[in-house]
């Protein structure tokens, strides 16, 4: 079957949140570019959007400065509980259909298969995004959590690690510092402050040459989170969404992102607007509804890219054949609303 090829594209984010310390900016930028380059190479050699976003997110999970995989933030009890998800929409291949003089392919009629997988509260898996993909491809379910997810990982042949192996010295020190700070503050004020996102959740969205569209997100969660808390990054429609219209990955205060179904709403709005406009509107609506801080990256089937956030800081790496691979620190929409290199 002759297939209609398209030009691939990918966007990755490294979380929206508190301002990034000056001495970490260069290292984060290099980490983002290296991860996005991996995904871009997969796309350029004809690989799928799914392979590209999983490889990009897994590379960021392995990087100690990002709040996902190794180096994830710890919960209020000093333990690791990671969330991740993936979603893939790809054209259904099938026989050509002859209609008069025209030969039509099912994929031209928006005939897409859509699948998703997610994990929550895992602490013994090196790359939660890969486990999310296994849930999607090798189980009848969409979301597996905690011990059940880890047992599933083992059954899939994944090596389980000791949670301590996933805790970086930096994450442990941050947890201790937070505890010290909390002890000095009034309980309620501390609880409120502790839910503000820190920089470092990761996500990627891509479209491949066969018009497959994928999204993936992975996080250690928000600082000070309670034992057992699951955030948006494990919830399809909230932190991750992919569809025939496009794909989205979110970051920021998970409770607000879940409440507003941020990624699903944004992707469905691509029917009416460009990713750039839709991303801004989605964040503006989230602010109106919750007053929280969050960010989103968006890509449509025409390979147009958009992003917006209202936190102190957010970074993205984007790849498209016209512009190549680029890294950007994004200004928040409420303040300037324009990209800064």
Residues annotated catalytic, as ranges:
201
Bridge partners of 327? Answer: 317
| Residues 154-213 interacting with ligand ASP (rule: CB under 6 A) | 197, 201
Q: Per CB under 6 A, does 219 bind ligand ASP?
A: yes
Helix, strand, or coil here: 114? strand
Q: Is 218 in the site for ligand ASP (CB under 6 A)?
A: no
In terms of DSSP bridges, do strands 143-145 and 202-207 run parallel, antiparallel, or are they unpaired? unpaired
- The Cα 100–Cα 325 span in angstroms is 44
Residue 223 contacts ligand ASP per CB under 6 A: no
Closest residue to ligand ASP, Cβ-based? 254
Task: Determine, following the binding rule CB under 6 A, whether residue 221 of this chain makes contact with ligand ASP.
Answer: yes
Q: Mask of contacts with ligand ASP, 235-274, x by CB under 6 A?
A: ----x-----------xxxx--x-----------------
Residue number, 208 or 232, with CB nearest to ligand ASP: 232
Taking residues 42 to 81 in sequence order and writing x for each that binds ligand ASP by CB under 6 A, - otherwise, the string is ----------------------------------------
Is 234 or 299 the residue whose CB approaches ligand ASP more closely?
234
CA 323 to chain centre: 22
Give me the residues paired with residue 87 across strands: 116, 215
Q: Closest Cα to residue 57, out of 317, 322, 324, 323?
A: 317
10 Å CB burial of residue 274 (0-12, 13-18, 19+) is: middle
DSSP string, 235-303: SBTTTEEEETTEEEEEEE-HHHHHHTTHHHHHHHHTTTS-HHHHHHHHHHHHHHHH---EEEEEEETT-
Closer by beta carbon to ligand ASP, 81 or else 320: 81
CB of 71 to ligand ASP, least distance (A): 13
| Nearer of residues 117 and 223 to ligand ASP, judged by Cβ | 223
135: three-class secondary structure by DSSP: helix
Pairing mode, strands 112-122 and 143-145: parallel
Nearer to ligand ASP, 49 or 202 (CB): 202
Site for ligand ASP in 10-29 (CB under 6 A): 15, 17
Binding residue for ligand ASP (CB under 6 A) from 233, 240, 249, 315?
A: 233
For ligand ASP, the binding residues (CB under 6 A) are: 15, 17, 197, 201, 219, 221-222, 231-233, 239, 251-254, 257
């Amino acid at each position: 079957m002759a297939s209609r090829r398209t030009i691939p594209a990918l966007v990755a984010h490294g979380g929206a949140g508190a301002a990034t310390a000056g001495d970490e900016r260069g290292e984060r930028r290099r980490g983002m570019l290296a991860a996005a380059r991996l995904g871009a190479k997969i796309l350029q050699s004809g690989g799928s959007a799914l392979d590209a976003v999983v490889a990009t997110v897994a590379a960021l999970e392995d990087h100690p400065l990002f709040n996902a995989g190794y180096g994830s933030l710890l919960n209020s009890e000093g333990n690791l509980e990671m969330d991740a998800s993936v979603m893939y929409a790809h054209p259904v291949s099938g026989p050509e259909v002859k209609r008069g003089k025209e030969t039509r392919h099912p994929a031209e009629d928006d005939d897409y298969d859509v699948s998703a997988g997610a994990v929550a509260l895992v602490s013994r898996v090196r790359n939660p995004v890969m486990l999310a993909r296994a849930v999607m491809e090798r189980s009848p379910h969409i979301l597996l959590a905690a011990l059940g997810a880890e047992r599933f990982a083992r059954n899939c042949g994944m090596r389980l690690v000791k949670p301590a192996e996933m805790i970086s010295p930096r994450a442990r020190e941050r947890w201790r510092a937070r505890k010290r700070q909390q002890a000095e503050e009034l309980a309620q004020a501390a609880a409120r402050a502790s839910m503000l996102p820190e920089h470092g959740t990761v996500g990627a969205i891509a479209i491949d040459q066969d018009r497959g569209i994928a999204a993936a997100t992975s996080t250690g969660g928000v600082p000070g989170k309670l034992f057992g808390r699951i955030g948006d990054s494990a919830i399809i429609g909230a932190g991750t969404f992919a569809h025939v219209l496009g794909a989205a990955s979110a970051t920021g205060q998970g409770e607000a992102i879940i409440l507003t179904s941020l990624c699903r709403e944004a992707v469905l709005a691509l029917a009416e607007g460009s990713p750039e406009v839709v991303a801004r509107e989605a964040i503006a609506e989230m602010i109106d509804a919750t007053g929280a801080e969050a960010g989103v990256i968006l890509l449509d089937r025409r390979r147009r890219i958009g992003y917006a956030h209202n936190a102190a800081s957010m970074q993205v790496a984007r790849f498209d054949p016209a512009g190549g691979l680029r890294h950007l620190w994004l200004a928040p929409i409420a303040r300037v609303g324009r990209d800064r290199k």
